[in-house]
Structure 1
Amino acid sequence: MGTDGSAGPIDRDRDEVGRARNARPRDGLGRPLPRGAAGVARHPEGVLRSPDQTLAEAQRLLDDGMPFHAHEVLEDAWKNCPEPQRALWKGMAQLAVGATHAARGNRTGAVALLRRGADHIEPYQGQPPHDIDVAGLLQWARDHVAALEAGAGHVTTPRLRGPG
C-alpha cells in the first residue's frame, strides 16, 4: 500500500543507483528531522579512505559529538577493507553505534552494541593494525557497559589510537 493510502507502491527516497535512502535531514546523532529542517551534513557512503584517513576522520567526528557520523566513516572501511581486518572495522563501527545509542538515551541498545563491538575487536588485541588502541577501546567499552548497566547515561569519547 502506498503512503497515501492507495494500493500503489510506496514512494521512497532513492539514491542514484536506485537503493532506498532516507533523504530527510539528520541531527548530530543521526536522528531523522522533518523534511525541510536544517540538519547536519551527512558523509557520502562508499568513500574509499586509507586507514589513517578513516581513523582521523572518525576520531574528529567522535570528538565533535557525532558518533553516528563516525560510524558511517568506519562502516565504509569495514565494507572496503581486506577480509582479515573486516571484523576489526565492523567492531569499531559498532562501538560508534553503541555511543550513538547511549547519547540518544537508549541504554539497552548501547550495551548491546558496545558488547558486540568489543567482541569483534578483541581478537586484534595482540597485534593491532594501524596503531589502533584495541586494548584501550576494549577497556572503554567494558567501562561504559558497566556504567550504563548501573544507570549512567553519559558515554565519553573513545580514543581510536593510543597516545603518540
Structure 2
Amino acid sequence: MVDPRFGEAVRLFNAGEWYACHDGFEELWHETQSPCRRVLQGILQIAVAHLHLERGNRRGATVLLGEGLGRLHSAGPEALGLDLEILRDAARSRLQALQQELDPEELPLPRLQAICADA
C-alpha cells in the first residue's frame, strides 16, 4: 500500500502508539474496498486490543486479539507488503497468555515488518 498514511500508521503501531495508529488504520479501512480491507481490520483490532491492555481491560484485549487473528488467518503471509507471520505469532502468544491468565506484558509486542523486496 503506497498511501503515506499507511506508513505512518505502521510506524505508530511499532512505537506502541495504539490509539494514534488505530485512527490511521481505521481511516484507511473505511476507504478500502479491496480484499486488503479484512487485513487492515485485523491489524486495527490487534492495536485496539493493546489499547485495552494498557487500560487494564484484559477481557476486551482477549476478544479483540482473537478477532484480529481471525481476520488475519486467511490472509497471505505478505499481505499489504507486511510479514504477517511475525504479527500473527506475537499476537497469538499474547492471546494465549491472556487466556491462561498469565501476564502478556512479559512477551514481545506485535510488530509490523515490511517484506524485503529483494529477499
> Structure 2-normalised TM-score?
0.81
The 3 A distance-change label for structure 1 pair 130 and 65 is closer
Higher relative contact order (CA 8 A, sep 6+): 2
Task: State the match for 1:160 in structure 2.
Answer: 112
For residues 86-111 of structure 1, give each alpha carbon's deviation from its aligned partner in whole angstroms, at most 9, with x where no partner exists: 11111111110011111111111001
Q: Deviation of residue 153 (structure 1)? A: 5.0
Q: Distance in 2 between matches of 1:77 and 1:157?
A: 23
Q: List per-residue Cα deviations over 1:56-106 (Å, max 9, x = no partner).
A: 212322343321111111111111123321111111111100111111111
Structure number with larger C-alpha Rg: 1
- Specify the alignment match of 2:74 in structure 1: 123
1:110 aligns to what? 61
Partner of 2:95: 145
Amino acid at match of 1:71: H
User: TM-score, normalized by length of structure 1?
Assistant: 0.61
Question: CA contact under 8 A between 1:59 and 1:70: conserved in structure 2?
Answer: yes
Shift of 1:151: 2.6
For residue 112 of structure 1, report the CA deviation from its aligned partner.
Answer: 0.4
Residue 59 (structure 1) aligns with = 10
Alignment-derived partner of residue 35 in structure 2: 84
Corresponding residue for residue 45 of structure 1: none
